[in-house]
A and B are shown apart, each in its own frame.
Chain A
Amino acid sequence: MNVVESMPPPPKPDLITVNIDGRDVAVPKGTNAIEAARLVGVDVPFYCYHPKLSVVGNCRMCLIEIGMPAVDPATKAPIMDPATGKQRINWIPRPQIGCATNASPGLHIRTNTPQIKDCREGVMEFLLINHPLDCPICDQAGECKLQEQATGYGRGYSRFIEQKVVKPKRTQLGPRVTLDDERCILCSRCIRFCKEIARDDVLGFIDRGSYSTLTCYPGKKLTNNYSLNTVDICPVGALTSTDFRFKMRVWFLKQTNSIDTESSVGANTVVWSREGIIYRITPRRNDEVNDTWMSDSGRELYKQVRSSDRLTAIRVNGIDSSLDVAVQAAAELIRASAGAVAVVGSGRSSVEEQFLTHKLAKLLQAPAGIVSRVGEGDGILISADRNPNVRGALVTGLIQGLPQPKLERLAAGIDAGTIRTVVAINEDLVAAGLTPAQLAKVAIVYLGTHVQPTTAAARVVIPTLTVFEKSGTFVNQQFRLQKFAKAVPGPAGASDDLVALSRLLAALGGGAIPSEINALWSLMAEEVPALKTIAFGRVPATGLQLDPAPWAGLPYVEGETLHYKPAP
């Protein structure tokens, strides 16, 4: 099995040459002028253009001068300029919008002429006419395109002495989005997003001219599970997240790359934290997985970190203890019922943890499985498989086939008395179909993050970390290996899953297995065929595609989502 860097090589794009500010650059035919300029490091400012939405061209900020090489209309022979000896360029006398200009052979673009400078200053001045001086109370301050481009391309002072138009402020568009209409610059990105991506057409403009106002259609609310993406793409502070509103300034927040764990889509995210507290989660662009979007439900997952039901004390038989004692107690429980141990892994554990879980199960010659978690897919960025890492368990060999929703074989084993100890890793056995009576019959060693019925019944409880507090990798539905990084430190009392598992393995005579992730990966690269040649440090931020062929025939539960088509 080999790792393929990118799935099938994309067909070679039809490259053409365009000239931007005097520099020739080869771009695929039809490339947008803004994107082409970005390729040569020329910044064309814009508000309404978004690479993943349709082009409307209503902000007029991306004005550029364009021209084509002159040819004789009759003979089609190039007309040369005697002064330079090159072909003459016929410049269009008025500026054109860059977002709606597609690259064609020989296209010439100028972005640095006095006319363009005047245009940008004029557009900025008109946009700022009715824009309130809200920056001190505006959540967008610090990541506001209007602030950035007023600094970069504005005239620097205001000539406006009249009164600004008053519009509704602090309006609730939906349960999670707050709208301030005065700040809106009418770019219509949110309208296009709802129509084109969320497929829930609820937003629109009413009234005319400077009174134009963004609002919901009568009787409708912005309630869909992707509503917070409108907050992300809003170039100004008109749409703000009700949850993040007035919580913290963005310039204080540290950004950490992470992965959305709510389903096997594995949307790429950024976790924003300050001093060990997470304030928000936003999507991170990955054109192969989630474009620039993520679900609202995925953004709320950070609340589990500081929830009141977090496990923070290592407990052995209900008494607070230390990791060493807990690991020894667990090892004794497991040794006492040798041959009658079962391991319940999790599809929410990282690839590394599943690798160690698999090693543990192999060492004990115990049956191992994970619990399936199936919901309804929404066809966009939430798939039917609500475990983020079932494919990881397949890759590491923890499971051979797809998991069952209920642990029926384990339940039967407990009833028959052939299972006397269960090692449960971040899975609630009651939710997985075991009855409290069955739990009472066995000794449970539990590693997990939150209080569950299983933790009350467990003999040994070792609190572990959530996805935001550790580093690791998941394998998503496309068999794409994606890594997440530690954003905040874990609570006092919680141990890293890898440390707890490797200590348990060592206590059971499994030898010294590194718990440091890079060292563990070199071991995994040796032992797991699908991960050969991969090092953790070299997994790109947007993930690494694994070869799905060995597991191609399995009846996966996922339906179609944004960049995933199930095998027919």
Chain B
Amino acid sequence: MAVIQVERKPLTFAERTYVPQIIAGLVTTWKHLVRRKDTLQYPEQRPAIPPGYRGVPTLVRDPNGREKCVSCQLCEFVCPPKAIRITPGEIPLDAPHAHVERAPQAFDIDMLRCIYCGMCQEVCPEEAIFLQQQYSMSGYTREEFVNNKARLYELGGTLPDQHFKWDKKKSAEERGNEH
């Protein structure tokens, strides 16, 4: 390899005084003093969550309080890191929503495995699982990071339902054979 000698440019007078550089630096500092702040006083202050944000997956109820999940296990099947584990069960005949027939006995989502991809929400045929705005999980043990069914409903709450598919089905049943 040939060695190329590069000649260093001599500094100008202004550069030698170092004053313009100090002023330019201070301008940046002063700008930040008066600008709107980017940082938040977390956790007292929380950022605004944009729509479509994918937070912690949760289970939701419909406005009538019916648990929407029917434990079809499609989310368990589609989940890439296998974070979801469902034990399906049957709704007893005397329950108010007996006509739905099927509901999860147990529903666990391991948040140490979850990658927040939203595939479960996308695949759900009953619109029962949603990645909502909760984003921070904390705990002292691995077990605390496994959200069970009760916790998932607590996180999920109630979402408006557009379809009321099962309610329509029940009312059709009550009216009898109708064309």
Residues of A that sit less than 8 Å from B by CB: 132-133, 135-137, 141, 162-167, 169-170, 210-211, 245-249, 251-252
Nearest Cβ distance between residue A17 and chain B, in whole angstroms?
A: 46
Q: Is A166 touching B72 in the complex (CB atoms < 8 A)?
A: no
Nearest Cβ distance between residue A204 and chain B, in whole angstroms?
A: 19
A248 and B172 in contact, given A136-B72, A169-B99 (Cβ under 8 angstroms): no
Nearest Cβ distance between residue A388 and chain B, in whole angstroms?
A: 33
A249 and B77 in contact, given A137-B72, A169-B99, A170-B93 (Cβ under 8 angstroms): yes
How far is B55's CA from A325's CA once the two chains are assembled, in angstroms? 56
Q: Which residues of B contact A163 (CB under 8 A)?
A: 172, 178-179
Q: Is A248 touching B88 in the complex (CB atoms < 8 A)?
A: yes
Q: Which residues of A contact B100 (CB under 8 A)?
A: 137
Nearest to A248 among chain B residues (CB) is B88
Residues of B that sit less than 8 Å from A by CB: 70-74, 76-77, 88-90, 93, 99-102, 125-126, 165, 169, 172-173, 175-179
Q: Which residues of B contact A211 (CB under 8 A)?
A: 177
A166 and B88 in contact, given A135-B125, A136-B72, A249-B72 (Cβ under 8 angstroms): no
Nearest Cβ distance between residue B62 and chain A, in whole angstroms?
A: 14
Known pairs A136-B72, A166-B178, A249-B72 / 4 extra A-B pairs, C-beta < 8 Å: A135-B125, A170-B101, A245-B90, A248-B73
Nearest to B126 among chain A residues (CB) is A136
Q: Which residues of A contact B125 (CB under 8 A)?
A: 135-136
Task: Give the contacting residue for A137; candidates B102, B173, B175; CB below 8 A.
Answer: B102
Q: Is B77 touching A251 in the complex (CB atoms < 8 A)?
A: yes
Nearest to A251 among chain B residues (CB) is B77
Nearest Cβ distance between residue A382 and chain B, in whole angstroms?
A: 30
Q: Which residues of B contact A166 (CB under 8 A)?
A: 172-173, 175-178
Secondary structure call for the A interface: loop
Q: Which residues of A contact B70 (CB under 8 A)?
A: 136-137
Q: Is A247 touching B72 in the complex (CB atoms < 8 A)?
A: no
Q: Is A133 touching B165 in the complex (CB atoms < 8 A)?
A: yes
How far is B129's CA from A546's CA once the two chains are assembled, in angstroms? 57
Task: Give the contacting residue for B73; candidates A164, A245, A252; CB below 8 A.
Answer: A252
Q: Which residues of A contact B179 (CB under 8 A)?
A: 162-163, 165, 210
How far is B70's CA from A141's CA once the two chains are assembled, in angstroms? 13
Q: Is B126 touching A247 in the complex (CB atoms < 8 A)?
A: no
Nearest to A130 among chain B residues (CB) is B179
Q: Which residues of B contact A251 (CB under 8 A)?
A: 77
Q: Which residues of B contact A136 (CB under 8 A)?
A: 70, 72, 74, 102, 125-126
Q: Is A141 touching B72 in the complex (CB atoms < 8 A)?
A: yes
Nearest Cβ distance between residue A131 and chain B, in whole angstroms?
A: 13
Nearest to B101 among chain A residues (CB) is A137
How far is B169's CA from A252's CA once the two chains are assembled, in angstroms? 29
Q: Is B72 touching A246 in the complex (CB atoms < 8 A)?
A: no
How far is B101's CA from A162's CA once the two chains are assembled, in angstroms? 24
Q: Is B71 touching A246 in the complex (CB atoms < 8 A)?
A: yes
Q: Which residues of A contact B74 (CB under 8 A)?
A: 136
How far is B177's CA from A247's CA once the two chains are assembled, in angstroms? 31
How far is B165's CA from A169's CA once the two chains are assembled, in angstroms? 16
Q: Which residues of A contact B165 (CB under 8 A)?
A: 133
How far is B175's CA from A167's CA once the two chains are assembled, in angstroms? 12
How far is B100's CA from A246's CA once the two chains are assembled, in angstroms? 12
How far is B176's CA from A132's CA once the two chains are assembled, in angstroms? 15
Q: Is B73 touching A249 in the complex (CB atoms < 8 A)?
A: yes
How far is B102's CA from A107's CA once the two chains are assembled, in angstroms? 50
Nearest to B100 among chain A residues (CB) is A137
Q: Which residues of A contact B178 (CB under 8 A)?
A: 163, 165-166
Q: Is B90 touching A246 in the complex (CB atoms < 8 A)?
A: yes
Q: Which residues of B contact A247 (CB under 8 A)?
A: 88
Q: Which residues of B contact A210 (CB under 8 A)?
A: 179
Task: Give the contacting residue for B172; candidates A164, A245, A252; CB below 8 A.
Answer: A164
Q: Is A252 touching B71 in the complex (CB atoms < 8 A)?
A: no
A to B CB contacts below 8 Å, 12 in the list? A136-B74, A163-B172, A163-B178, A163-B179, A165-B177, A166-B175, A245-B90, A247-B88, A248-B73, A249-B73, A249-B88, A252-B73
Nearest to A164 among chain B residues (CB) is B172
How far is B74's CA from A204's CA once the two chains are assembled, in angstroms? 35
Closest 9 CB pairs of A and B: A136-B72, A137-B102, A249-B73, A136-B125, A246-B88, A137-B70, A246-B90, A136-B70, A166-B172
How far is B165's CA from A166's CA once the two chains are assembled, in angstroms? 14
Nearest to A139 among chain B residues (CB) is B102
Q: Which residues of A contact B76 (CB under 8 A)?
A: 249, 252
Nearest to B105 among chain A residues (CB) is A246
